[in-house]
Structure 1
Amino acid sequence: MTDTNQAVVFQAGSEEYALPILSVISIEKPEGITAVPHMPQYLKGIAKVRDELIPVIDSEMVLYDRAADLDEKTRMIVIHTKEISAGILVKDAREILEIPQENLKQPSLIAYQKNRYFSGVASFDNRMIMIIDPELLIESLEGMSEIKEYVENAR
């Protein structure tokens, strides 16, 4: 995580995850998502946010191989990486949390290939929050290079 150790905490499945605040552009209600045929299952479609077309990623599909159920709590966390901005659909965007350095842990399961986008775990007395590195997440998603190309051409 960054020097500030602030993160946006969200729910996917029944667990809590977090994204470093410096990678988060905004938190939006998911509106105007246009499906794109023949794209990977994790991609819900594209959306226009602040006059920019961005791919919308289903966090439930990435983390649990099942589609998210959209309801009134569903939010889209808009992130920016070096190469692309993207929206991540989450069950609920919960809070912005200050994570003390001593609460950040590096469990060995992070080395597992399919979980390489986890950069650590924020461990508290009564809760554990997996920290997701947005750069590694985008990099790890199969087909993302084609999606970047599609979004560029659609602009």
Structure 2
Amino acid sequence: MQTVNKAVIFESGREEYAVPIESVISIEKVDFINPIPHMPLYMKGITKIREELVPVIDVEAVLYNQPLVEVEEARLLVVQTHSLPAGFLVKDAKEIIDIPQESLKQMGLAAYEKTKYFTGVAAFSERLVTVINPDILVSSLEGMKDIQDYMSKNKVSST
């Protein structure tokens, strides 16, 4: 089970999820996403963050198989994965919290192939927050390897 001390809490669907703060580069307002034709449902397109082009992944599409309905609170969690930075489009980025090790519980669902990116659940008295490993999430997405290869070979930037 992944050790998480601090995490960024975000909302997708009606649930709360967390990514370890060590993975988060920044939290951005959604400015402009350039759509790319013929991409999988989860791939919204690309956007420019600090002079670098970043693929935008619709977390709602990944988790619930439906695109995020545009809301003013929507945020882009820019995360660093092993292979590239990626923008997670989420309904709302809510807070940064401490997760005491004793509140982090193992999930049996982590063994299921399609949800292996769920690494645990932070069980608090008033809520449950599912912890996501961004590296596993991004690498598990169909077609993402091709996108990663293209971006690394071409070192895509906005010059």
Q: TM-score under structure 1 normalisation?
A: 0.95
CA contact (8 A) 1:45 1:56 kept: yes
Partner of 1:85: 85
Cα distance in 2, alignment partners of residues 34 and 147 from structure 1: 15
The one-character-per-residue Cα deviations of 1:2-39 (angstroms, maximum 9, x if unpaired) are: 46x10000000000000000000000011121011111
Runs of 4+ in 1 over 4 A off after TM superposition: none
CA contact (8 A) 2:44 2:57 kept: yes
SS of equivalent to 1:121: strand
Question: Is 1:122 the counterpart of 2:122 in the alignment?
Answer: yes
Change in 2 beyond 3 A, CA 1:141/1:69: same
CA contact (8 A) 1:55 1:151 kept: no
Question: Is 1:6 the counterpart of 2:6 in the alignment?
Answer: yes
Residues 108-147 of structure 1 aligned to structure 2 (within 5 Å) = 108-147=108-147
* Matched positions, count: 154
Question: Is 1:45 the counterpart of 2:45 in the alignment?
Answer: yes
SS of equivalent to 1:138: helix
SS of equivalent to 1:93: strand
Cα distance in 1, alignment partners of residues 29 and 151 from structure 2: 20
The unaligned stretches of length 5 or more in structure 2 are none
RMSD: 1.2
Cα distance in 2, alignment partners of residues 67 and 28 from structure 1: 19
Partner of 1:103: 103
CA contact (8 A) 2:3 2:101 kept: no
Partner of 1:18: 18
SS of equivalent to 1:145: helix
1:127 maps to a residue whose letter is: R
Cα distance in 2, alignment partners of residues 71 and 109 from structure 1: 30
Report how far residue 151 of structure 1 moved. 3.1
Q: TM-score under structure 2 normalisation?
A: 0.93
